[in-house]
Amino acid sequence: MKTHLSFFFALFFLSGYVFAENSVPLVYQITIDKEINPTSRIYLLNGLKEAKKLNADQVLLRLNTYGGSVVDADSMRSAILYNPIPVSVFIDNNAASAGALISIACENIYMRRGANIGAATVVNTTGEQMPDKYQSYMRSTIRATAEAHGKDTIFSKKDTILVWKRDPRIAEAMVDGSIYIPNVVDSGKVLTLTAQEALKLGFCDGIAESVHEVITKFMGYPEYKLVEYKPSGYDNLKGFLMNPAFQAILIMLIIAGIYFELQSPGVGIPSIVAVTAAILYFAPLYMDGLVQNWEIIVFIIGIILIGVEIFIIPGFGVTGIAGIVLIVTGLSFALLDNDGLSFKEVQAPDLSRSVLTVLSGIVLGFVLMIYLSSKIGSKGIFRKIALTTDLENSISIDTEVKTLVGAEGEAVTVLRPSGKIMVNNEIYDAVSEIGFIEKGTKIKVNKVESAQFYVEPV
């Protein structure tokens, strides 16, 4: 009998202990202490997903940033606003520019003494203000973010007043220096608030010195379990690959690789470079859910059309232009968060960023093509893919061939840039020194080296 009672009491206390463990609130912490970019966006999205999986009671974003990409900040603020678990932010020193937008999206804002929030004007990489259309969109976004928190009911004597929890006008003043708010900001100055000022104006819900103080004092959890998001190496790699600057470089390598591969027979280094760059470009976007199958297919069809135009259809016409359009379309749409063929949810900054990234990559690609074209055949790493093998010691060149320099003839095959020519009714191997030369074009021999004719169109 005593054994049964002992077992019963042990089971009772054990179940009480387990219940107590499960009743302790779980706070999930995500730390962002760097520039707002694709990597920090990945941190936040993965952290929110993990917090939901763990059924966390609260998410606490520990933030210290001078700002960064508006596009990534907008994506982060949307994820916070619509997250099913309440998200609070602890500003551990700075929440400037894009950081201010992200902070205002959070349910509660807590700040360290001496911290700042504001200065959300859109600027370029040199610190100069962007045109008004960018400022207009940012003003609207930060205003809408503040409005999303609704109004509080204030009872004053017999009156009931509805007051914004976060005043949209004050939020907008963080972007627009022309806004004047009495006793808050003068016209001509972009608003930045200290912790005390933010507390007074409703843009701070409490001042604390640590995460522990935020959780115990303001969240009201004297006992809690804290789980912190630990970014993986893959997260950092994915963020790097999705950086707009690196994406522009990949586009440059894709364009240049396709160009040089079409000029040389067989599969060589240019095609390997182009394929590798295309994989690095599309793979992280595909895994992030941005790229859809049809966008990749459009890109591949574009490459095929350009190949058809060069190798099958003479000249350069509709097929080649269509191929270029499809390639640009595939690369651009891959960066947009569209739903199938619907682009209703695509925001203006996303579209601008996509087009700017692709056009930058294409321009860089053309610059690279011009540069490498001038280097092929000279000393350097590109000599291995050029037709410059020195055979003077192994092949004796007839003196008569040397006399053909300056002679005119005809291209008997297309020169891309190598092919066959006919001079004085004899067939010779030749390389075009100026672009492609179509079959049947009259040519002039500029020089002969190692039994190789170098020609240009007459």
At 302 the pLDDT is: 87
Q: Does the pLDDT value for residue 102 go beyond 90?
A: yes
Confidence of residue 425 (pLDDT cuts 50, 70, 90): confident
How distant, in Å, are the alpha carbons of 63, 190, 265, 267 from that of 170? Answer: 21, 10, 64, 60
pLDDT of residue 327: 86
The label of the residue with tokens 């804002």 reads 109
Q: Region 386-405: what's the mean pLDDT? A: 56
Helix pair angle (348-375, 244-263), 10° resolution: 40
Instruction: Report DSSP letters for 261-314, one per residue.
Output: HHHSSSS-HHHHHHHHHHHHHHHHHHHTT---HHHHHHHHHHHHHHHHHHHTSS
CA dist 44 and 239 (Å) reads 12
> What integer pLDDT is reported at residue 382 of this predicted model?
46
Q: Cis peptide leading into 182, omega within 30 of 0?
A: no
Euclidean distance between CA atoms 453 and 458, whole angstroms: 15
- Which is higher by pLDDT, 392 or 80? 80
Question: Hey, what amino acid is at 2?
Answer: K
Exposed, middle or buried, 346 (CB in 10 Å: 0-12/13-18/19+)?
middle
Distance, CA of 47 to CA of 88 (rounded, Å): 13
At residue 399 the predicted structure's pLDDT band, cuts being 50, 70 and 90, is low
**Amino acid at the residue 385:** I
Q: Is the peptide bond before 457 cis (omega within 30 degrees of 0)?
A: no
Residue with structure tokens 């297919």? 297
Q: What is the per-residue pLDDT across 104-133, written as a single tens digit (0 to 9) for each? A: 999 999 999 999 999 988 887 777 888 888
**Is 70 exceeded by the pLDDT of residue 316?**
no
- Assign 345 a pLDDT band (cuts: 50, 70, 90): low
CA distance 215 to 210: 9
Residue 58 structure tokens = 């609260």
List phi, psi (to 5°) of 187: -65, 140
Structure tokens at 215: 């959780």
The pLDDT value given to residue 385: 47
Task: Kindly state the tokens that stand for 202.
Answer: 């409703």
Q: Count H helices and E strands in the chain, helices first.
A: 15, 15
CB 455 within 8 A of CB 437: yes
How far CA 270 is from CA of 142, 275, 307, in Å, comes to 46, 9, 15
Confidence of residue 81 (pLDDT cuts 50, 70, 90): very high
Q: Can you give the pTM of this predicted structure?
A: 0.66
Report CA 257 to chain centroid distance, whole Å.
22
**Cα 31–34–37 angle (5° rounding)?**
105
Which band of pLDDT confidence, cut at 50, 70 and 90, is reported for residue 395?
very low
pLDDT of residue 210: 95
Burial, 382: exposed, middle or buried (Cβ in 10 Å; 0-12, 13-18, 19+)?
Answer: middle
Average pLDDT, the chain: 82
Q: Does residue 96 register a pLDDT over 90? A: yes
**Separation CA 150–CA 164 (nearest Å):** 6
Q: Is the pLDDT of residue 246 over 60?
A: yes
Beta bridge partners of 116: 94, 194
Q: What are phi and psi of 39, to 5 degrees?
A: -65, -50
Mean predicted confidence (pLDDT) in 277-281: 87
Encode pLDDT of 179-198 as tens digits. 999 989 888 889 999 999 99
Contact 421, 411 (CB under 8 A): yes
Q: Are 355 and 346 in contact (CB under 8 A)?
A: no
- Could you tell me which CATH number the domain at 21-232 has? 3.90.226.10
Domain extents in the chain: 21-232, 242-383, 399-457
Q: ∠ CA(416), CA(420), CA(422), 5° rounding?
A: 135
Using CA atoms, how far apart are residues 132 and 36, in angstroms rounded to an integer? 22
Alpha helices (H) along 24-97: 38-53, 70-81
399-457: CATH architecture: Beta Barrel (2.40)
pLDDT at residue 18 in the model: 42
Sign of CA dihedral 174, 176, 177, 178: negative
- 446: amino acid identity, one letter: N
Burial of 288 per CB tally in 10 Å (0-12, 13-18, 19+): middle
Q: Which residues pair with 261 in a beta bridge?
A: none
Q: Is the pLDDT of residue 167 over 90?
A: yes
Please tell me if the domain spanning 21-232 has the same topology as the one spanning 399-457. no
Higher pLDDT, 397 or 437: 437
